Amino acid sequence: MEVFAGFLLGLLGSFHCAVMCGPIAISLPSSNKTKLNFLLERFFYNFGRVITYTFFGMVFGYFGERIFMAGFQQIISVAIGVIIIFYLLKPLLKKNTNLFQVQTGKSNLSFFKNIFAKFYSKNSKASLFGIGVLNGFLPCGFVYIALTGAVALSTPLSGALFMAFFGIGTLPMMLGISMSKNFVSLNLRRKINKLSPAIALLFALIFIMRGLNLGIPYLSPKLEPAHKVTEQVICH
Q: What's the pLDDT at 38?
A: 84
Inform me whether the pLDDT recorded for 16 exceeds 90: no
For the ranges 89-93, 169-173, 180-184, which has the lowest average pLDDT?
180-184
Per-residue pLDDT band for 232 (boundaries 50, 70, 90) equals: very low
Please indicate whether residue 231 or residue 158 has the higher confidence score (pLDDT). Answer: 158
For the ranges 41-45, 81-85, 177-181, which has the lowest average pLDDT?
177-181
Inform me whether the pLDDT recorded for 221 exceeds 70: no
Q: How many CA atoms lie within 13 A of 235 on its CB side?
A: 6
Q: What's the pLDDT at 230?
A: 41
CA separation, residue 204 to residues 83, 97, 200 (Å): 8, 19, 6
Contact, 76 vs 152, CB < 8 A?
yes
Percent of the chain predicted with pLDDT > 70: 75
Inform me whether the pLDDT recorded for 236 exceeds 60: no
What are the two backbone dihedrals, phi and then psi, of residue 108, each rounded to the nearest 5 degrees? -65, -45
pLDDT one-digit tens code per residue, 49-72: 999 999 999 999 998 888 777 777
pLDDT one-digit tens code per residue, 128-143: 999 999 988 887 878 8
Please indicate whether residue 19 or residue 108 has the higher confidence score (pLDDT). Answer: 19
The rounded distance, in Å, linking the Cα atoms of 222 and 217 is 8
Mean pLDDT of 204-222: 73
Inform me whether the pLDDT recorded for 215 exceeds 80: no
Contact, 135 vs 52, CB < 8 A?
yes
